[in-house]
Structure 1
C-alpha cells in the first residue's frame, strides 16, 4: 500500500511539473478609411486592422519545474477585408518564437519585436502605433525597426523598478555582416511614472553575389528616449528620437505619394512627440502632435497631429473614429497611414470596429 501511495505521489508530482497550457487569441479589426492629399487624389476603402492588426495567434507554456517554463508564440496577421494573409508565402509573419522563462528572465529565439518597437507601443505612442494618429507617420517605426527574423532576445525581470531587454538578429550572409541588427532598452517604473531609452543598430550593407560586388552602406542607428505619466484622469506621453546613417529612417510610403520630386529618406534626423490618453465615458480619447527635423541638406521637415476615440461596447469589443494630418516641407513625403497601411496622402480618417478574443 505504501509503495502504491509513493508511486501515485511521484506520478502526481511529474504531472504537476509537466503542466502545459495553450491559448488561442486574436484581434478582428476592420474600418472604413479615407485618404486624401496625395497625387492619386482621395481614396476610400475598407481596411483590415486600422487600429490594431487583425491576427490569430497561439501562445503556450509548459511548467518544467523549479520555476522554469518553456514558452512559445506563433502569430499570423490576417486581412478581414479579403480573408488573405498579411504576408504572402509567410504563415506566422508577426511572431514565431520559442524560449525559456525563469528567475533569470526570458530567453527566446525566432521572429520577434524589437526593443525599439516595444518601447514605442508601451511608453511613447498614446495610439500604441495604431489608428490614423500613429507615431509611425513620423517616427521610423516600420520594417525591421518593428520586428526581425533569426533573432535572439533576452528580457531581464524587473528589479526595484528597473528592467531591460536585449536583441540580436543574425544577417545570415556568408562572409558578411549585411543585414545584422541588434538593439536594447532599459527602463524605470515607479508608480505612475515610466522612463525608457532604446537603441537600434542595423547593418545596411548588401552582401556580394556571384553576379555583383558587395555594396557598403554602413549602419543605420536609432536612439529613442521616452516617458509616460499616469494621472488616472489623463496619461501623458512624450518621446524624442535620433536617427543617423543609411536606412535609419525609411519613409513609410516610398512610392512618391505626392508626385514631383521623389522624397528622400533622412539619414540625419530628429523626431519629437507629445500626447495623451484620457478615459472619457465608456471609452478612451487619444491625441498626439509630432515634428520631424531633417538635418540633411534636403531639410525635409514635417509636422503631424492625430486624434482618436475608442468607444467600448464591452470588455472585448469597441468602435472607433480617428483623424490624422501631416504638413510636409521642401518635398518631404510623410503620409498618414494606420496600423497596417503606410497611407497615400496628407490626411486620413478611420471609422472602425475592433473585437479581441
Structure 2
C-alpha cells in the first residue's frame, strides 16, 4: 500500500484498535473487516464469589465494520467508516458486568455520602439508576456505537465528521503497553465511574501526519437545544515518533448536560525500544468538578430531600486523580509477552486508590489468528471497589470496599 504523509481519523483509530483491514488499492473500494475475540474469563472478589464465564472481547472488543474510500484526484480522497460491536457469546450489541447493576458502596450508602440514614431509600433508588447504566453500550444499544463517520483527506490534512475516538484516548492508547488490550490495560483501572471519554458523537476532527508527527484536534457538539455548551467536547493530541522512540500527549475536556466544565484528562507518554521489546510509560490526570448525569436527581427524588441527595451524589461522583503506567512488551517470533504495572492516586475524600499488575501472552497461529492468556491482579485500597474486565466488557464492582480481585482469561482472537 502506498505510503501517505497525511492520516485520517480512520488511521488514528488503528492506534487504539490493532486490526483494521487494509484498503484495496483501487480508485474506489469498500472493505468488510472485523475482529472475533472470545474466551473464558475468571474473576474473583465479587459478591457472588468467583465467576467464570464465556466472554466476548478478552483482548479486543469483537466488532465488524465497513470502510470505504474513493480517489478524487489531486491528493484528495473521500473515506467513511461504520463499525459495530458484537458480543460473540450472545450475538448482542451490548453487555453487562459480572457484578450486574451493583455500584461501589461509596455511591450506595447514605452515611458514607454524608447523609443521615433516613435518606437511604432515596440513595438506593438513585444508585439503582446509576447501576442500570453500567455495561458496554447497554443503554443505547446503537448499531454503530464504535465508529460512524465520513471524511475527506486533502493535501493539507484529513477532516472527518461523526462518531469517533477522542484525541485524549488515542494518546493514552499509544503509550499503554497493552494498547488497551485485556484487563491489564491502564483504562481498566478507571472504568467505574468512567474516567476517560473513549468515543464521542457529533464530532468534527482534523488530523495530519508528517515528518514523524501525528496530530489531531477535535470539536464535538453537544446538540442540546438552547445550550450550545452542554455536552460539548474539545480535544487534541500530538505524538512524535523517532528512530526507536516516541513521545507525546493528549487532552480532552467535556462539559456536562447543563454546560459546566466536567470530565477533563491530560496525558503525557513516552516509549523507547530496549532489547527485543519496547518500554512504555505514561502519566495522566483526571479532573471532574461537575459530574455529568446528576442534574435530574433532585427531580427524581422529589421534595426537600431531592436537593440534598443530588448534592451528595455530585460530591461523591467528583473525580481528582492521577494515573501512572509502566510496561514492557516484546515479540519474539510467534510469541508476544507484555508485563505492566498501573496505579491510580485518588485525591478526593474517598481516597479510592488502586493499582493493577500482571502479564499477558499471545501466540500467533497466523497473521490473523492468535491465542491469548492474561493474568491481572487488582489491589483495591480504602474505599476502592473495582474488578477487572476485558477490552470489550467492564469488570464491575467487588463485594466490598478494599476487596482485591484477580482476573485469569484465555481466549482466541481472529481478525478479518
TM-score past 0.5 threshold: yes
Q: Distance in 1 between matches of 2:356 and 2:195?
A: 21
Q: Given the alignment of the two structures, is residue 288 of structure 1 paired with residue 331 of structure 2, yes or no? A: no
1:79 to 68, 87, 107: 87
Quickly say closer, same or farther: Cα 1:146–1:327, change in 2 above 3 A. same
Q: Distance in 2 between matches of 1:355 and 1:220?
A: 35
Could you report, residue by residue, the CA deviation over 1:219-274 in whole angstroms, capped at 9, with x for unpaired residues?
A: 22110101111236011110001111236799xxxxxxxxxxx9955521101000
SS in structure 2 opposite 1:37? strand
1:266·1:294 contact (CA, 8 Å) conserved in 2?
no
SS in structure 2 opposite 1:138? helix
Name the structure 2 match of 1:38. Answer: 46
Q: Given the alignment of the two structures, is residue 48 of structure 1 paired with residue 56 of structure 2, yes or no? A: yes
Higher normalized helix content (fraction of residues): 2
Q: How many residues align?
A: 318
Correspondences of 1:126-165 after superposition (within 5 Å):
126-139=177-190, 145-158=197-210, 160-165=211-216
Q: Distance in 2 between matches of 1:28 and 1:333?
A: 30
1:24·1:58 contact (CA, 8 Å) conserved in 2?
yes
Could you report, residue by residue, the CA deviation over 1:296-348 in whole angstroms, capped at 9, with x for unpaired residues?
A: 22222111112110100111111000011111111112321110111144211
CA shift for structure 1 position 282? 1.4
Q: Distance in 2 between matches of 1:236 and 1:115?
A: 22
Query: Which stretches in structure 2 are left out of the alignment for 5+ residues?
Result: 1-25, 95-136, 294-312, 399-404
TM-score, length-scaled by structure 1: 0.84
Name the structure 2 match of 1:349. Answer: 408
Name the structure 1 match of 2:262. Answer: 219
Larger Rg: 1
Higher normalized strand content (fraction of residues): 1
Quickly say closer, same or farther: Cα 1:164–1:116, change in 2 above 3 A. same
Q: Given the alignment of the two structures, is residue 103 of structure 1 paired with residue 162 of structure 2, yes or no? A: no
Correspondences of 1:306-325 after superposition (within 5 Å):
306-325=358-377
1:76·1:85 contact (CA, 8 Å) conserved in 2?
yes
2:71 to 52, 59, 63: 63
Could you report, residue by residue, the CA deviation over 1:143-187 in whole angstroms, capped at 9, with x for unpaired residues?
A: 8710001010010222x3223101111100122222111100012
SS in structure 2 opposite 1:145? coil
2:280 to 223, 226, 237: 237
Q: Distance in 1 between matches of 2:33 and 2:90?
A: 20
Runs (4+) off by over 6 Å? 247-250
Could you report, residue by residue, the CA deviation over 1:14-48 in whole angstroms, capped at 9, with x for unpaired residues?
A: xxxx9201111111110100111122311110001
